[in-house]
Amino acid sequence: MSTIQETDTLAVTQVLGAPKESAWRNFISQFFRNKAAVVGAIIIAFYVFIAIFAPLLAPYDPYEIQLENKLQSPSIEHWMGTDDKGRDILSRILYGSRLSMGVGFAAVAFGAFFGILFGLIAGYYGKWVDSLIMRCMDVLLAFPGILLALAIISALGPGMINVTIAVGAFSVPLFARIVRGSTLEVKKLEYVDAIRSLGAKDRTIIFRHILPNILSPIIVQGTLRIATAILSAAGLSFLGLGAQPPSSEWGTMLSGGRDFLFSAPYIAIFPGMAIAILVLGFNIFGDGLRDALDPRMKN
Amino acid sequence: MIWFIIKRLMQTVPVIIGVTIVVFVIMQLVPGDPAVLLAGEGATKETIEALREQLGLHQPLYVQYFDYVSNLLRGDMGFSLKNNQPVLQEIMTRLPITLELAIFSTLITIVLGMLAGIISAIRPYSILDTVVMVVALLGISLPSFWFGLMLMYSFSVKLHIFPVAGWDSMLHVVLPAFTLGAGGAAIVARMTRSSMLEVIRQDYIRTARAKGVKERVIIYKHALRNALIPVITVVGLQFGALLGGTVLVESIFAINGLGRMIVDAIRMRDLPVVQGGVLVASLVFVVVNLIVDILYRLFNKRIELN
């Protein structure tokens, strides 16, 4: 049987929420219990490390053409071999991590920014504002995956920046849906009424009091979307619509390796493996985050 | 049920209108004068002006949009800048190929995904379950364009089992369909497993076990039937990803479908073809989603009760 003091403490905890420190500790213990998620975090950390230190780690200049070394199989000198222009594939992959990850992060940041904004406005104001915004989001979701990106690139032209915008654009409705749902839940809570009754402006309520409380599903969605964004951007570069040669972006490298599939398959094998391992890392890290931060989303 | 279908059809209309607006607006983002682009390099001022008049480009945007929609309703999507052929005609020759590829890939997604999911769910947390789920996770993470190239290298270049490219016989279908369907199969496998595990924990399954019903009957007759309901939605959503994926797979395997047509048109700045291709692919997706929703309703009578 609980004492009065314990009951009071419980009541206070229920009103104010668990202390931040214990929530953080709970998240950490939940996360570290999931071994796959930890592996995902290590993979991502490894890729971030090689992206930062690529100039120190790369054994050769990734852009230097040495035709006398062209199409060399993997060896001690060139661990992953060389491409048709004699460039070291390992060095190009190391440098390429900057581009491939950069476009993934930037596209998700772009999609998240607009998606969160639309979702917050739709969820908070409701009524016709909600209907208008969410019907627009439904329309964007009516485009199959990469096709919306293709339409945008056809208008803006090929290139990394346009690919980032195009890939980010089809993330907007996904973020908007999640944020709207969470906002609808949170805005009904008593603390929001309390803040409103104190005369706080809508902008303050939305960005300072609702947004910080719905970050969990946004972080989970963001992590999982980075994986999709990296895949989509690499796919567009593979089609020749994103990064252009001699860029060492992985999709572009793979596209270049296509022509040598019969004679030098390693040109295509290694960049593809680099993409697959990084995407796998984000997927299992995202799954782990979801289980630790938002168990309701677990299925 | 009839009312549900009518209501759902009515809901589809604004989405279709929205899709036409988005496609129209995106094409307005093209930098420069569309008349100059359409007339081509070296066109005289008179030609450009005549074209502008003919296309109604001097009209306000909303008038241009209504013209665009009324032309669409008459089956007029304009003409290709490359060969001056009607865009609709080009699409109609390419669309069946893409749909064929999408249908075969969906079959692979469903059969492979459900089978893997059921195997995992029957023996949860066993070695087999772990292996299947790791493979599924890999399936989700592999870039389809790389996977396709690797399949081509292994089964066409090395083993000579399947042809390298083209779309002439059933043998040509296998590798592209597998490339496209594998990612979806991985998602369906994960969904089937979690859905099956949830159903297996339900009271009526426990009751069936208590009554001595055979495990096989419980799994296939009681659990699977209910577990498959949420899977239908995932398969529907996967069809969209699959339609998008055809763009990459058709380019790898040199298949003359809608996806490759769009990519080629972007490279050649053949905007009417891009516009028509994206619009038709999106409309196909909208219709498939509509069918999936109706099927979901048919399978899940509980929604009706609620």
Of B49, B73, B97, the last residue of a domain is: B73
How many CB atoms are closer than 10 A to CB B214? 11
Taking CA atoms, A237 is separated from A198, A246, B136, in Å, by: 52, 12, 25
Q: Could you identify the residue written with the tokens 């009554």?
A: B211
For residues A23 and B83, which has the higher predicted lDDT (pLDDT)? B83
**How many residues belong to chain B?**
306
How many CB atoms are closer than 10 A to CB B68? 21
Question: Using the beta-carbon criterion (under 8 Å), do A239 and B248 form an inter-chain contact?
Answer: yes
Q: Could you identify the residue written with the tokens 């772990």?
A: B130
Taking CA atoms, B28 is separated from A7, A100, B23, B36, B38, in Å, by: 64, 29, 9, 14, 13
Above 50 in pLDDT, residue B141? yes
pLDDT value of position A14? 46
Range in A19-23, A112-116, A140-144, B122-126 with the lowest mean pLDDT:
A19-23
The most confident of the ranges A89-103, A254-268, B200-214 is A89-103
Contacts of A283 in chain B (CB under 8 A): 137, 140-141
Contacts of B244 in chain A (CB under 8 A): 144-147
Nearest in space to B9 (alpha carbons), one of B293, B296, B300, B241: B293
Of B73, B95, B117, the last residue of a domain is: B73
The answer as to whether B34 is a domain residue is yes
Q: Which domains does chain A have, with CATH numbers?
A: 41-59+80-293 (1.10.3720.10)
Tell me how far apart the alpha carbons of residues A68 and A65 are, in angstroms, rounded to a whole number: 9
The answer as to whether B69 is a domain residue is yes
CATH number at residue B116: 1.10.3720.10
Q: Which of the four pLDDT bands, split at 50, 70 and 90, describes residue A296?
A: low
Mean pLDDT, range B143-150, rounded to an integer: 94
For residues A119 and A129, the answer to whether their CB atoms sit within 8 Å is: no
pLDDT value of position A277? 96
Contacts of B150 in chain A (CB under 8 A): 268-269, 272
Question: Which of helix, strand or coil describes residue B132?
Answer: helix
Q: Which of the four pLDDT bands, split at 50, 70 and 90, describes residue B301?
A: low
For residues A164 and A110, the answer to whether their CB atoms sit within 8 Å is: yes
Question: Using the beta-carbon criterion (under 8 Å), do A145 and B240 form an inter-chain contact?
Answer: yes
Contacts of A166 in chain B (CB under 8 A): none
Mean pLDDT, range A8-21, rounded to an integer: 48
Which residues touch A43 (CB under 8 Å, ≥6 apart)?
A: A277, A278, A280, A281, A285
Closest to B145 (Cβ–Cβ): which among A152, A254, A261?
A254
Asked whether residue B181 falls in the same domain as residue B300, the answer is yes
The ipTM estimated for the assembled molecules is 0.87
Asked whether residue B147 falls in the same domain as residue B264, the answer is yes
Above 50 in pLDDT, residue A9? no
Asked whether residue B118 falls in the same domain as residue B175, the answer is yes
B160 touches chain A (CB under 8 A): no
Asked whether residue B175 falls in the same domain as residue B223, the answer is yes
pLDDT value of position B53? 81
Which residue from B minimizes the CA distance to A152? B26
Please state whether A3 falls in left (phi above 0), alpha (psi between -120 and 50) or beta. beta
Question: Using the beta-carbon criterion (under 8 Å), do A276 and B21 form an inter-chain contact?
Answer: no
Tell me how far apart the alpha carbons of residues A20 and A26 are, in angstroms, rounded to a whole number: 10
Strand partners, B86: B79
Q: Could you identify the residue written with the tokens 């009760």?
A: B305
For residues A136 and A17, which has the higher predicted lDDT (pLDDT)? A136
Helices (H), chain A: 4-16, 20-33, 35-52, 54-57, 89-125, 127-141, 146-156, 160-169, 172-186, 190-197, 202-204, 215-238, 250-258, 266-293
The answer as to whether B81 is a domain residue is no
Taking CA atoms, A289 is separated from A43, B8, B234, in Å, by: 15, 36, 22
Tell me how far apart the alpha carbons of residues A235 and B249 are, in angstroms, rounded to a whole number: 10
Instruction: Identify the sign of the CA torsion A58, A62, A67, A73.
Output: positive
Question: Using the beta-carbon criterion (under 8 Å), do A146 and B198 form an inter-chain contact?
Answer: no
Q: Which of the four pLDDT bands, split at 50, 70 and 90, describes residue A299?
A: very low
Of B73, B106, B123, the last residue of a domain is: B73
Mean pLDDT, range B8-19, rounded to an integer: 90
pLDDT value of position A232? 93
pLDDT value of position A3? 43
pLDDT value of position A19? 57
Which residue from A minimizes the CA distance to B272? A154
**Torsions phi, psi of A199, nearest 5?**
95, 20
Structural domain of residue B28, as residue ranges? 2-73
Strand partners, A88: A82
pLDDT value of position A21? 67
Q: Which of the four pLDDT bands, split at 50, 70 and 90, describes residue A7?
A: very low
Which residues touch A135 (CB under 8 Å, ≥6 apart)?
A: B14, B18
The answer as to whether B82 is a domain residue is no
Above 80 in pLDDT, residue B41? no
Judging by beta carbons within 10 Å of its beta carbon (0-12, 13-18, 19+), is residue B217 exposed, middle or buried?
Answer: exposed
Question: Using the beta-carbon criterion (under 8 Å), do B145 and A235 form an inter-chain contact?
Answer: yes
Above 50 in pLDDT, residue A6? no
